C-alpha cells in the first residue's frame, strides 16, 4: 500500500468541513451503470437553482461522449503531489483512491456553492453517498433504476462498440450492480425512482430535492423494481 493510499484510508474531514456539509443543501444522485443518472444530472444543471460539485482527480483528461473533458467543468485535474498536499492540509471533504487514482471533493468547491445559495448536486457511488449521509442525514440521496432488466441491457450495450467489448466488461458491471442494489435495499435514506421516461424522472428528482419526502408510494414501487433487478442479476450467476 502506498503512502498516499494509506493517508486516504485514514482521512477524516475537519469539523468545519462537516459543518459545511450540514449547512449546504446537497443532492446525491446514484444508480447502477446505465440507469441514466448522468443524463438526469445534466438536465437538472440546466436549472439555475442547481450547481455541480466538480470533483478533483489525478487521472488525465479523456474523451467523454466523443468530446475532450474540460478542466474545472468535468473535473479539477491535479497531479499526485497536489493531491498529497491537499490531503495533508485537510482540504477535502471526502477522498478515494481507486486503481491508483485519487478522487476527492474539496471544501472550497462546496463552500462556493453554499455561499452562492444554490443546491449542490453530484452523481456519486453508494459508498460516497454513505459517507455524506454519515456527515449529514439531511443530504438528499436518490437512486436511479431502469424500468426492467431488458431495457437496462439495451442501454448498457449501447455504450460499447461491439458485443465482445460488452461481454468483457459485463462481469464487473453485473457484480457492481448486485452490490449497489443490495445496499440500497438495506438502507432507508434513499429515494428510489424509475427512469422509464426521462422527462418524468427529471421532474420527480427535482420535486424530491425541492419538496422532500413526497413520493412514498412511487418509492415503494421503485424498490420493487430494484428488487426484481437484483433477483435477475443473482440468477444470472
- Phi-psi domain of 104 (left: phi exceeds 0; alpha: psi -120 through 50; beta: other): beta
Task: Return the SS3 of 104.
Answer: strand
pLDDT tens sequence across 52-70: 999 999 999 988 777 899 9
The average confidence (pLDDT) of the chain is 91
Every domain of the chain and the residues it spans = 3-236
pLDDT of residue 67: 87
State the CATH architecture for 3-236: 3-Layer(aba) Sandwich (3.40)
pLDDT of residue 70: 93
Beta bridge partners of 57: 77, 103
Phi, psi of 106 (to 5 degrees): -85, 150
* pLDDT classification of 161: cutoffs 50, 70, 90: confident
- pTM of the prediction? 0.87
- Kindly state the percentage of the chain with pLDDT values over 90: 70
Please give the C-alpha separations between residue 191 and each of 44, 121, 144, in angstroms, as whole numbers. 16, 15, 9
pLDDT tens sequence across 94-113: 998 887 899 999 999 999 99
Q: 105 or 217: whose pLDDT is higher?
A: 105
pLDDT of residue 216: 52
Question: In the chain, which ranges are continuous DSSP H helix?
Answer: 3-9, 15-23, 37-44, 80-88, 107-115, 126-135, 149-157, 163-186, 198-211, 216-236
Active site residues: 62, 159, 173
Question: Is residue 124 a contact partner of residue 30, using CB atoms and an 8 Å limit?
Answer: yes
Locate 13 and state its grid cell: 474531514
Query: CA triplet 100, 180, 125: central angle to 5 degrees?
Result: 45
User: Using N-to-C axis directions, what is the helix angle for 163-186 and 126-135, rounded to 10°?
Assistant: 30
pLDDT tens sequence across 117-138: 999 999 888 988 999 999 999 9
Amino acid at each position: 500500500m502506498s503512502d498516499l493510499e494509506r493517508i486516504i484510508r485514514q482521512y477524516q474531514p475537519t469539523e468545519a468541513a462537516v459543518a459545511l456539509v450540514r449547512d449546504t443543501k446537497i443532492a446525491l444522485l446514484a444508480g447502477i451503470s446505465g440507469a441514466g443518472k448522468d443524463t438526469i444530472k445534466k438536465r437538472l444543471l440546466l436549472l439555475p437553482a442547481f450547481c455541480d460539485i466538480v470533483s478533483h482527480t489525478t487521472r488525465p483528461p479523456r474523451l467523454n461522449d466523443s468530446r475532450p473533458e474540460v478542466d474545472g467543468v468535468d473535473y479539477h485535474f491535479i497531479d499526485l503531489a497536489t493531491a498529497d498536499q491537499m490531503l495533508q492540509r485537510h482540504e477535502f471533504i471526502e477522498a478515494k483512491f481507486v486503481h491508483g487514482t485519487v478522487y476527492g471533493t474539496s471544501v472550497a468547491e462546496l463552500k462556493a456553492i453554499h455561499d452562492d445559495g444554490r443546491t449542490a448536486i453530484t452523481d456519486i457511488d453508494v459508498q460516497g453517498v454513505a459517507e455524506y449521509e454519515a456527515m449529514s442525514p439531511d443530504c438528499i440521496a436518490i437512486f436511479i433504476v431502469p424500468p426492467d432488466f431488458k431495457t437496462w441491457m439495451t442501454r448498457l450495450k449501447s455504450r460499447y462498440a461491439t458485443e465482445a467489448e460488452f461481454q468483457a466488461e459485463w462481469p464487473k458491471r453485473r457484480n457492481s450492480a448486485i452490490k449497489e442494489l443490495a445496499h440500497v435495499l438495506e438502507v432507508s435514506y434513499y429515494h428510489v425512482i424509475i427512469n422509464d421516461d426521462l422527462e418524468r424522472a427529471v421532474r420527480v428528482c427535482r420535486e424530491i430535492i425541492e419538496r422532500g419526502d413526497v413520493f412514498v408510494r412511487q418509492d415503494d414501487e421503485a424498490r420493487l423494481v430494484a428488487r426484481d433487478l437484483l433477483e435477475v442479476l443473482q440468477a444470472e450467476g
